[in-house]
């Protein structure tokens, strides 16, 4: 791919037959492939042979299809993924897995929502050591703003659809992140951990063009 | 008034003629009256005699019309008004002035938005000493959530219309406050400092019915 | 918890496995715990041993996990919960149960919607004796406004998602409560009986700091 | 007109030149005409000759152009117009004037918002004597619901754009009226006193076809 | 009921157990009762004895519970129910059945949507003979406007949730009816055939107070 | 231009200085140019020399800048522009003028809104003779649906921003057109007479590629 | 049909019984009929005899009911259907099948989304040869704009409901198409491949009235 | 500032008096300061002495207040700012000026909207040489998607409020960017050129922590 990010199949609006067909073409080419939005039921119904080739994670609803047994040493300490609550684990893990698939091993810090601020404050020094931070939060999504105010790195917000009523399926979190009073926080679509990871990969790649 | 809160005239959708007329009736009755949403232009165009009787504050756009020179000692240390930014001063001061008019002198803490978290953390102990806190914030309105997570008192959020674009005239702040991940934070209408002060007055009054 | 309210697990966006795991940790610590948004199906699928320890109520979808057999005498006559229609029973009972779990026994007045105003008027004197009133109503949510105009206490509105079409899943009720023409009515998220109860607990606690 | 209601010109989106031109044609035909949404400035700028022929009311922004000096005795006691607050006077008076123009003299009851319920309750018997009631209210628009629950007649709700923030320019009032828990309340567009009066005129006319 | 309309139970947000319990109380009192929003599945699961007492119609999802075998002669030629498409049959039949339950036998004219205008024009003379017309239409809901422009009677619009995409679950039809360029058309909630019938009953009742 | 439509400058969000500068470049190239959204004030403030070269129409807010004195014979009877009310004249005339600028002389039929259906029906035969019809209407925008049901030609709907309240600045008209129950009606942006004319020009051009 | 487009039944909001009944009437008349929004489950449950007469396509959810064995030669090279992604196949194929049913055989170009621009650029010359182009795309729906900028023909955009979060079920794609910066692109309802095909048929028919 | 970005004053919701006061404090501290959203009128009304110290740009509505005459050599070739149309110049120049103020000199490429794709394609190689690209576009905002598909660098989208009707003041552009089918494009608030520049500065800073 022109952008240097491994290819991915978005499975949400595809039938099992369509996913099987796509995977067969991929296997024929022996091309590594990431599958996202592959829910537990669709995964279970895939052709057994294909399913056996997949490394599947139900929390993030992602699967890896890989052909190389040997890998490069993963990139560490460059990206941190912080999440507010356990309900945000799905999109947060989607970011983690997308990074893993592309050779990056992020630092993962969960359950540091701002209603219990001290848990987050305990991790500020650790966070500050990372050039790129993906902050995942739903409902009022205060986390990316607080993080953006505490650390100098690139902060990528992932608003999530957790909550009910006035949370509006993630709309409130999304618009809160976009209106963040911390300058320079950038935002991805609701629940889009995949996109946040791709943005981090773009930045890692871009940094090679930037003289230190 | 049945609720024991001093009467108020909401001037926003009234003509100068209508406000003059209302004030004349009030003066005739020698009834104390609070005016809200009285903008600078309308104030300047009021009948000079009436205007001279008003104690007007342009930031909060409120005016007091009072006939008693002597007052009770104001209630102190019971209510704190915290505001995120200087753009939130209007609604915050509307709350302060409504409290003042009803005999309450709140502690005022401005410019403690969460993008510069340390300023807020410096004031937590002070805030915790107040049984009632009015937290005023716009844009992503993270302040009420952070305050609600740090102090045990009654927290009344006033979302404001500051910001642009995704801030949607206060809608985002409003829905963020309602989705707050800090339990038991209650919410008023956008920019409604008056309502937050009235809620605080209701609580102060109610507390007399509650055995310690 | 810093706010002095018993802990709660929000079960709506958790799998049965996640709830089982959380409960096991809680049991190990012998920590009292409230579960909210635990629907009938999830409750039925919990590990039998854990389910036997729960005091479950299907209307409010709440469960208590308690280890102390003896309790303090509950606080009475301090909080009233009024609901407009039987369709509002879910959120109203969530408020009642959250209060119960935290040692408060509210006065419960159901089926007093304003389309049949006389039923509500019959209860006004009773309501006025309570310092805190939680008013639960959907559709046009006229109840909190009418109550707020009739009683001097603290009024906490819980808009509900009952209704269809223009009721917009609770949005209309929510915005009607926020625009209430009765001053000082405060508002919680749609269907958030839990939050209203937490706000009442905050006020009860705060009142101890307020000299009578 | 086919519907038997006098003709009207909606002036809001017309230039002064366009209104002058329309009036000249009307004068030439000696046709009675109602003008609505004619604001004070546009009225002042009309050709002096034409302006002199108009009976203009600035509160409702309506004008009558009439050529008959003698009139039928107006219809009384058939329609009541009730309004919640003084801010609702504009649309309420637009209904009153449209009725007047069409030979109906409604009973007018203003300032009976439900936050001060007793003022409304004092008028219930009077209201019940009217077969048709137009109820005008903004913000949470609880008035039409309360009226609809108290009287058996035809109730036509006019939501208004008074209020701010969550009142959403009348949207909240509109959707609250449509979700009214009082059965059979019908609704007009926001601020549409003209439409409510036309609906009342349709009912008065229709009633002649209905055997008693 | 104070409004003189037979009582009704709204079954949509009630469990089968709650409906059974309500019906048993009704049977004990031998009170006639209308049930609305009773879907086919809930109806099938009711206690057999109760179900046998119900006159159920699956299209309108309504049921009658009646104890009198003899009835008054129904009122004819007073109300017409017109519907645009077969997809609008549900709300249209809810209006018809609510009228039937209250002793009114409306003229029913279906499938006269304005995309095939001639079918509607063929029925204009018939429609004009009715003092009250309920016009049911979804999507762009042009029908109530066209009817309102052709007949002089009271026109009550019922926007429906038929359509997809830009139809927005009935929102577009609702707002189109409210913006109708035919004066004096009044509007009910989306799919609210019951409410439209109640409004017609209010008008029929009111007309007795109006001297011809 | 690649699409074969004369170039246009959209003046709405440009300062007078920016429009002057753009015109000077155009004059230097001696290139014909259409200006849209040029309001009366901006037009009056243009450099006198440039203003003198413009053929300006205040209703449509368009101006022509042309250098050829001789023109081809305009294309007639191919496009009809129908508009519902006089308030829709602005966008309707924008379509007419854009067609004129591009050598097409449309048939113009105004004031045929569906609330007075007979005026439209009188013109159906005339309309049917035109292969392309641009239908301009606001509020409930019933006109394009009715036209689309009556004629076989290509129907391009232009929803307009006329109306208030539930008309939502054209949103209701837009979504009503998109949900039209007449098949194959296509839609342009709110008030976008320019775009409708461009679509008509595309169709006229495309028809040359289509064998009869 | 007056518009010269074959008749169609919209099956989405009809029960299997209703579709069976409609088909029986059609068979009795031996009238060709297109069925749209006929999902796989409904199709499977139809009366076997009727189902055997249908030519059903599960991707587009359309079925043909035809009685003539011989057909005219289909019209070729006049319409192209381009789609951005495989998730857009449903509405795109609905357009293709509606065209097929009406004797038009479009050129089909799938998987040319603008994120991989070169695939689209490779097809521009081919596209330019077609007088009518239907462009189907979801999410940000950039495809119709890019196509509209590259080709001179009539461009009909079909926004689709693919995507999640900020894609808002197709709302974002719809409004992006309507705001397209390519002039003269016209738009259909979300997922409305049927409507786009009807518009193309209207244009093909209209072109016969247009002299070349 | 903790994030290493120069301080800024957001002037939009401040009075001239408030801006003067803020500037005086800044001057006293001799602290460099960026002013944003300072419109031409407010700028003209500032105290003359203060105004003379400002380097003001009316297009971007920004001003620099600087005290050092000597500067570091600006960083070049690291950031490109691309804008779709001249109406997007305001936010685009706000990004450029914010970068300038912080020592970065971006490559500026205007007027490359995708409706005239060839202008953009001519610049792709140039764009690809930049590690960070800020893409500014309104209406359908197709530009960031097309750019994101063509270049491997970090792409920061700035949706703008240009357009009318369905453009919804920038909402459509915002949600289109968030739904971009090009992976890893991140998004700022509507018209927020300042935020995009801050994000670019965060990335430039972060890249120093990333080993090449
Ligand atoms: N700033 C405010 N925001 C909301 N409501 C207000 C405000 N000021 C006054 N009110 C309410 O408006 C009522 C007076 O309304 P009016 O009679 O229209 O002046 C007061 O009794 C208050 O309940
Ligand atoms: N019904 C509820 N509505 C809103 N918030 C709740 C509810 N129940 C629990 N919570 C909050 O959710 C927190 C627990 O979230 P979690 O860790 O995801 O289980 C509690 O501490 C409460 O603050
Ligand atoms: N205040 C109003 N609100 C809504 N519709 C109105 C109003 N006044 C007049 N109208 C309608 O507008 C029509 C006249 O519109 P026009 O020809 O644009 O002046 C009248 O026949 C009425 O149907
Ligand atoms: N009234 C209009 N509505 C929508 N788009 C327009 C309008 N007038 C001109 N345009 C488009 O705007 C382009 C010129 O934009 P600009 O370069 O900003 O003046 C033209 O090529 C047209 O595509
Ligand atoms: Mg959070
Ligand atoms: Mg803030
Ligand atoms: Mg209610
Ligand atoms: Mg009211
Ligand atoms: Mg219809
Ligand atoms: Mg119209
Ligand atoms: Mg796309
Ligand atoms: Mg663009």
Which one, of G77, G78, G104, G106, lies nearest residue G92 by Cα?
G106
Centroid of chain to Cα C156: 10
Residues F2-26 pLDDT 10s: 456 888 999 998 989 999 999 999 9
Q: Which residue's CA lies nearest to atom 21 of ligand 2?
A: C8
With residue D194 as reference, give the H or E element that holds it: helix D193-207
Residue E19 and residue E115 in one domain: no
Is E115 in contact with F145 (Cβ distance < 8 A)?
Answer: yes
Identify the pLDDT of residue G54. 97
Give mean pLDDT, residues B160-185: 96
Q: Is residue A163 part of a domain?
A: yes
Q: d(Cα H24, Cα H17) in Å, to the nearest integer?
A: 11
Please return the burial class of H7, using the count of CB atoms within 10 Å of its CB with bins 0-12, 13-18 and 19+: exposed
Q: Which alpha helices (H) appear in chain E, and where do they start and end? A: 16-29, 40-45, 48-53, 89-101, 117-121, 124-128, 143-150, 171-178, 193-207
Q: B193 CB under 6 A from ligand 1?
A: no
Across the beta sheet with G54-57, the strand order is G8-10, G33-36, G62-65, G54-57
- Confidence grade of residue B3 (pLDDT, cut at 50, 70, 90): low
Please compute the mean of the pLDDT values over residues B104-120 and round it to a whole number.
94
Residue H145: pLDDT above 70?
Answer: yes
Percent of chain D beyond pLDDT 90? Answer: 87
Domain count, chain B: 2
Q: Which residue in the block uniquely carries the two structure tokens 């309340």?
A: D185
Question: How many CB atoms sit inside 10 A of residue F18's CB?
Answer: 16
Concatenated DSSP letters for chain A?
Answer: -TTS---EEE-TT--HHHHHHHHHHHHHHT--EEEES--HHHHHHS-HHHHHHEEEETTTTEEEE---S--PPPEEEEEEEEESSGGGHHHHHHHHHHHHHTTEEEEEE----GGGHHHHHTTHHHHHT-SEEEEEE-TT--HHHHHHHH--SEEEEEE---S-GGGGGGHHHHHHHHT-SSTT-EE--TT-HHHHHHHHHHHHHHHTTS--
Neighbours of B7 (CB within 10 A): 12
Ligand number, closest to the Cα atom of F198: 4
Is the complex ipTM more than 0.85?
yes
Q: Residues D9-38: pLDDT tens digits?
A: 999 989 899 999 999 999 999 989 999 999
The CB of C62 under 6 Å from ligand 2? The reply is no
Cβ of D179 under 8 Å from any chain B Cβ?
Answer: no
pLDDT at H64: 97
**CB of residue C93 inside a 6 A radius of ligand 2:** no
Residue C99 to residue C193: CA distance in whole angstroms: 10
Report if residue C1 sits inside a domain.
Answer: no
C-alpha closest to that of B199 among C152, E157, F147, C11: C152
> Is residue F70 included in any domain, yes or no?
no
Give yes or no: residues F182 and F201 share one domain: yes
The tokens for A44 are 């279970």
Give the residue from H190, H200, H203 with the most A CB atoms within 10 Å of its CB, the best one to mutate. Answer: H203
Helix (H, G, I), strand (E, B) or coil at D65: strand
C52-56, F71-75, F135-139: the lowest-pLDDT one: F71-75
User: pLDDT by residue (tens digit) across G45-88?
Assistant: 999 999 999 999 999 999 999 987 667 899 999 999 999 988 89
CA D135, chain centre distance (Å): 10
Among candidates C162, C159, C167, which has minimal Cα distance to C191?
C159
How many whole angstroms from its chain centre is CA B114?
20
| φ/ψ (deg, to 5) at H78 | -95, -35
Q: Output phi, psi for C138, to 5 deg.
A: -115, -165
Residue C21 confidence (pLDDT): 93
Q: Is the pLDDT of residue D96 over 60?
A: yes
Kindly indicate the confidence band of residue E69, based on its pLDDT and cuts at 50, 70 and 90: low
Does G1 fall in a domain?
no
**F172 close contact with H: CB closer than 8 A:** no
pLDDT at D69: 66
Which residues fall within 8 angstroms of residue A44, CB to CB, at 6 or more apart? A51
Residue pLDDT, tens place only, C87-103: 899 999 999 999 999 99
pLDDT, tens digit, 9 for 90 and up, residues H16-39: 999 999 999 999 999 899 999 999
Q: Does the pLDDT value for residue F51 go beyond 90?
A: yes
Answer positive or negative: Cα dihedral of A112, A116, A122, A128. positive
pLDDT for G6 equals 81
The verdict on C81 and C172 lying in the same domain is yes
Interface probe, candidates E186, E196, E199, chain D, greatest D C-beta count within 10 A: E186
The count of other CB atoms within 10 Å of the CB of residue F125 is 10
Together in a domain, E116 and E15: no
pLDDT of B86: 83
Q: Which tens digit of pLDDT belongs to each residue from F134-159?
A: 999 999 999 999 999 999 999 999 99
Domain identity same for C90 and C56: no
Q: Residue A13: what pLDDT?
A: 86
pLDDT at E141 over 70: yes
The arithmetic mean of pLDDT across residues H45-57, rounded, is 97
Judge: H8–A183 Cβ closer than 8 Å, yes or no. Answer: yes
Q: What is the mean pLDDT of chain A?
A: 94
Residues G139 and G202 in one domain: yes
Q: What is the DSSP string of B110-135?
A: ----GGGHHHHHTTHHHHHT-SEEEE
* Unique residue bearing structure tokens 């305001």: H90
Q: Does F172 touch chain E (CB under 8 A)?
A: yes
Whose CA is closest to atom 6 on ligand 3? D10
F145 lines ligand 4 (CB under 6 A): no
The Cα-based distances of A127 to A108, A122, A144, G97 in angstroms read: 10, 10, 12, 55
pLDDT at E72 over 90: no
Best mean pLDDT range from C115-129, F66-80, G65-79:
C115-129
Q: How far apart are CA A79 and CA C150, in angstroms?
A: 57
- DSSP string spanning B79-110? EEEEESSGGGHHHHHHHHHHHHHTTEEEEEE-
Instruction: Give the integer Cα–Cα distance in Å for F148 and F152.
Output: 7
Is pLDDT of G4 > 90? no
Domain boundary among F24, F43, F65: F65
Instruction: Tell me how far the alpha carbon of residue H165 lies from the centroid of ligand 12, in angstroms.
Output: 15
E5-17 pLDDT tens trace: 888 999 998 889 9
Of F8, F63, F98, F136, the one to substitute when testing ligand 4's pocket (max ligand atoms within 8 A of C-beta) is: F8
The DSSP call for residue G118 is H
Q: Which residue has the higher pLDDT, F181 or G49?
A: G49
Give the neighbours of chain G: at least 3 Cβ pairs within 8 Å: A, E, F, H
Q: How many CB atoms lie within 10 A of CB H78?
A: 24
Domain assignment of residue E70, yes or no: no
Q: What is the pLDDT of residue G69?
A: 66
Q: Hey, which residues 34-73 in chain C have their CB within 8 Å of chain B?
A: none
Report helix angle F193-207 to G193-207, nearest 10.
Answer: 60
Instruction: Output the CA angle G199-G200-G201, nearest 5 degrees.
Output: 90
On whether residue F2 sits in a domain, the answer given is no
- Strand-strand pairing, F75-83 and F132-137: parallel
Query: For E177-206, what is each residue's pLDDT tens digit?
Result: 999 989 999 999 999 999 999 999 999 999
Q: What are the pLDDT digits (tens) for G83-135? A: 998 889 999 999 999 999 999 999 999 999 998 899 999 999 999 999 999 99
Side-chain half-sphere of F93: how many Cα atoms within 13 Å? 17
Taking residues H191-203, report their average pLDDT: 98
Q: What is the pairing mode between strands D33-36 and D8-10?
A: parallel
Of D46, D65, D84, which marks where a domain is finished? Answer: D65
pLDDT digits (tens, 9 = 90+) for E28-59: 999 899 999 999 999 999 999 999 999 999 99
Q: Which of B65, B92, B113 is the last residue of a domain?
A: B65
CA diameter of chain B: 51
Is residue D134 a contact partner of residue D202, using CB atoms and an 8 Å limit? no
Q: Do B189 and D162 touch (CB under 8 A)?
A: no
Q: What angle do CA B174, B180, B186 make, to 5 degrees?
A: 70
Does F103 lie in the same domain as F29? no
Residue pair G41/G15 in contact (Cβ under 8 Å)? The answer is no
The shares of helix, strand and coil residues in chain C, as percent rounded to the nearest 5, are 45, 20, 35
pLDDT band at H3; cut points 50, 70, 90: low
pLDDT over 70, % of chain D: 97
Helices and strands: H and E segment counts in chain E: 9, 9
Nearest chain C CA: its distance from D23 CA (Å): 39
How confident is the model over C172-201, as a mean pLDDT?
97
Residue listed under structure tokens 């005999």: B103
Residue range C122-142: average pLDDT? 97
Write down the mean pLDDT value for chain H: 94
Q: Ligand 3 — pocket residues by CB below 6 A?
A: D 7-10, 36-37, 192, 194-195; E 183; F 85-87
Among left, alpha and beta (phi > 0; psi -120 to 50; other), residue E101 is alpha
**How is residue C3 annotated by DSSP?**
T
Residues G125 and G55 in one domain: no
Q: Are residues B80 and B57 in the same domain?
A: no
pLDDT at F3: 57
Q: How many angstroms separate the CA atoms of F64 and F31, rounded?
A: 11
State the residue range of the domain holding C18.
Answer: 8-65
Asked if residue D3 belongs to a domain, the reply is no
In a domain, A2, yes or no: no
Q: How far apart are CA C60 and CA C39, in angstroms?
A: 9
Q: According to the model, what pLDDT value does residue E127 have?
A: 97
Three-class SS state of G138? coil
d(CA A149, CA H2): 8
Same domain, E154 and E89: yes
C67 lines ligand 2 (CB under 6 A): no
State which residues of chain A have pLDDT below 70: 1-4, 69-70
Residue, of D175 and D68, whose pLDDT is higher: D175
Average pLDDT value over all residues in chain E = 94
pLDDT computed for residue D181 by the predictor: 86
* Same domain flag for C104 and C169: yes
Tokens 């105290």 label which residue?
Answer: H47
Residues G19 and G101 placed together within one structural domain of the fold? no
> Which residues 6+ apart lie within 8 Å of E90 measured at CB?
E59, E60, E61, E160, E191, E193
Cβ of residue H85 closer than 8 Å to a chain G Cβ = yes
């Amino acid at each position: 791919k022109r952008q240097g990010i491994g290819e991915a199949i978005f499975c949400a609006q595809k039938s099992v037959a369509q996913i099987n067909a796509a995977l067969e073409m991929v296997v024929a080419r022996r091309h590594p492939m990431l599958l996202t939005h592959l829910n537990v039921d669709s995964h279970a119904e895939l052709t057994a042979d294909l399913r056996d080739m997949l490394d599947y994670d139900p929390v993030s609803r992602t699967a890896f299809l890989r052909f190389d047994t040997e890998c490069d040493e993963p990139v560490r300490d460059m990206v941190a993924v912080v999440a507010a609550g356990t309900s945000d684990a799905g999109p947060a893990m989607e970011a983690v897995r997308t990074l893993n698939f592309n050779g990056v091993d992020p630092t993962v810090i969960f359950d540091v929502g701002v209603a219990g601020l001290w848990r987050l404050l305990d991790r500020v020094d650790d966070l500050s050591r990372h050039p790129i931070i993906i902050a995942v939060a739903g409902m009022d999504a205060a986390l990316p703003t607080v993080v953006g105010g505490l650390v100098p790195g690139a902060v990528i917000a992932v608003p999530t659809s957790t909550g009910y009523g006035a949370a509006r399926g993630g709309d409130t979190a999304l618009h809160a992140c976009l209106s963040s009073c911390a300058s320079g926080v950038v935002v991805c679509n609701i629940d889009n951990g995949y996109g946040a990871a791709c943005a981090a990969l773009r930045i890692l790649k871009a940094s090679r063009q930037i003289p230190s």
